[in-house]
Structure 1
Amino acid sequence: MFEKAAEELKGLGADITTAEVMQQPELWLDTFEIYQTNKHAIESFLAEARNMGEGRLKVIFAGAGTSDYVGDTVAPYLRHASDRSLYDFASIATTDLVSAPLSFLNPDEPTLLVSFARSGNSPESLAAVEVVRSYVKNARFLNITCAPEGTLAQKAIGDNHALNLLIPRANDGGFAMTGSYTCMALLSTLVFDCAPDEQKHSWIETAANMGNEVIAREAEVMQFLLTDFNRVTYLGSAGFGGLAQEAQLKILELAHGLVATSYDTSMGYRHGPKSFVDDRTLVFVYVSNDPYTRQYDLDILNEIRADGICRKVIAIQQDAGELFAGESFTFTDYPELPEAYLALPFIMVGQTVSLLNSVRVGNTPDTPNPTGAVNRVVKGVTIHPFKA
């Protein structure tokens, strides 16, 4: 796909998504520049938010669908990479905040709502802000969005309690979120990660080089799919559990449900969900670079391979410790990356699998839903009045 001419990609209905997957390494470097340009405003805004109360500031990462999985991916990393004395991170879907606010919000707890949104026009994104604003006594709003013209960003202009961080080049035009997911994950990580900026930039450069390697090794990814399968599972630990959820959604979206998917954590999969595996299942496991956590990822890889049931079990891993000896997509000869930065090239492997699989099953990746029942921006949502 990455070497096909533009006309051929258009004929496959894949030119937009293919280009958006490929441009991500460049966008990650752009995202670092956006972070640096806005750093003073970010620091001032966060300092003011922390002054709302004593103790740690509650930070809620919120979005719907892929935007929700951004928080699921980065929150576990930031719980130990950020200043633990300042922030308490939670990832809560906007769909949960809007439908059951009393279950997730404390009106007396000063709260920073970090909204992730590609378009900023989803009804739940807008309603989550209003629910928090009306119910939480002391609240601030950080919008990380790819659409400057979107309603979420526009409504925050002139609001002293809100800050917009905009990533316009990552406003994916295809159906599935690719660069918008990775860039929002990266920018939120940069905002809260305690590492020096020089170190962050070095990690991003490494991640970008690894992302470009995914593009160059497309044929290797294609080899995973040259078999008879109709099910795919993704597994991972900590933030890679969120990454697994996003990877399986890309399969589901781009193949329009023609390939069944599941996801779980590496340890959690044994507790029932492993029943999904049959002789036409591919299992991918994102392997952590944390040496303790890595043991559990390798355990499930070796266990599933020894079961001898699934079609293939494949590790996505960096050469930074013990490696899975079976089939794998392995990054070698790079400095070891922390979880939130390693997630960037890791998900590009999953995105490439999804893109290739969509074409394999005869679908069009740019417009995978022929009935229009599922839309790029969610429609048909009724937001009911909330009174505490």
Structure 2
Amino acid sequence: MSIPSWVPIREELRGEEPYGAPQIDVPVRLNTNENPYGPSPEAAADIAEAVRQAALELNRYPDREATALREALAGYLGHGLTAAHVWAANGSNEVMQQILQAFGGPGRTVLSFAPTYSMYPEYARNTHTRWVAGRRREDFAIDVPAAVALIEAEQPDVVFLTSPNNPTGTALGADELNAVLKVAPGVVVVDEAYAEFRRAGTPTALELLDEQPRLIVTRTMSKAFALAGGRLGYLAADPAIVDALRIVRLPYHLSAVTQATALGALRHTDELLARVDELRSTRDETSAWLADRGYDVAASDANFVLFGHFTDRHAVWEGLVDRGVLIREVGPDGWLRVSIGTPDEMRAFRTALMEVDPR
């Protein structure tokens, strides 16, 4: 894509490309960390009925505070949270952008640790927030002394931590998070988009909300809830943080249809999350299989696995696409990421990889 010179776009946007994973029509798509199992017919029917009821009042604006939805999300999260602790938006992408609209901006800094989610610097660019990226260790964990030193030097207004991290799948330990919280002068955002997939014993930052008023924990219904098409992200934080975000949200930003869809899905939480254990098991089996074949494999608490190294990862990626399997060419050079799919999809992935990269 090329923007013509006559278009008066902001100069820092000229030459930029819109975000997006490749969308290629192949039999096996394992590149965007979607849940491969959709809602049951019963859950889909309940959601459809909720949307039908909402459609009868589409001439009216939706509840701009999404009160019922926030109450339901608080009940799902537990930890003594109430609707006042929860905020929701159109995917965790909008949640993150609202955070930088409220706490970032001109003259302010957001800091994170690469490799991490590739949209973070774009949120910073779009909100005129200075972007600073530290580096993770070779095993993709946070280097605590280096992280503390960087935060003390930069004094960021916002710190983004991701647990489990995308694209590596690695999760934060309590010591890492506490070290950052101790020195960060502004808000600390822990992006837990893949939290439901974490292994037993891996902590959630929700446990620290009572004692850390500047902590924000973000979640999404796109992954574990198999609701990527519903576009519902949310966060938990101190009510004062939520009130700050309400200042920058657009009027009626969350449609009645979106609210009805998410509430319908939450009524089927047990069913929609029933496949999470199966996906965890498949992830661990895939990690072990890749390691047995001689690949380096990042320890994953998510629904994907990052593996390498490849001298020419693009050639491997293309070879898989030629065989009908789409994974993601993302993250550190020499690594590839595969989302966890159904057993049949993972068999197709293994077969194609052995053909493309025999070891």
TM-score by length of 2: 0.38
Larger RCO (alpha carbons 8 Å, 6+ apart):
2
